[in-house]
Amino acid sequence: MKKKIAIILAILTLTSITACGQSNGNNSSSKTESSYSSSDNSKSEKSSHKESTSNTEDTTLVEETTKKPESSSTKKDVSTLDGIEAAVSEDVENTISGLEKEFDSLKSEIDTYDKYLQNTSEIEDFYNKIVKTNEDVCIRLYEYALEYANIVVNDYAALEDADVIISSLGNIQLQHNAGEDRFAEFPFTREAVYQVSQELKKLDFKGILLVISNPVDAVSALYQEFTGWPRERVIGTGTLLDTARMKAAVGDDLSVNPKSVSGYNLGEHGNSQFTAWSQVKVKGQDITELTSEEERQNLFMASMKGGHKVFYGKGYTSYGIASAALRLVTIILSDAQEEVAVSSYQEAYQTYLGYPVILGRQGVAAPVHLFLSAEENRLLEESANLIRNRVQEAVAFLKEKYVNTRE
| Cα-based distances in Å from 120 to 103, 116, 126, 276, 361 | 14, 6, 10, 49, 54
Residues 270, 186: contact at Cβ < 8 Å? no
| Coarse DSSP helix, strand, coil percentages of the chain, rounded to the nearest 5 percent | 55, 10, 35
If we measure between CA atoms, which residue out of 158, 150, 144, 140 comes closest to residue 43?
Answer: 150
Q: Which residues are catalytic?
A: 269
Letter for the amino acid at 273? Answer: Q
Q: Are 344 and 357 in contact (CB under 8 A)?
A: yes
Q: Classify strands 274-275 and 234-236 as parallel, antiparallel or unpaired.
A: unpaired
Sign of CA dihedral 338, 342, 345, 347: positive
CA distance 253 to 6: 31
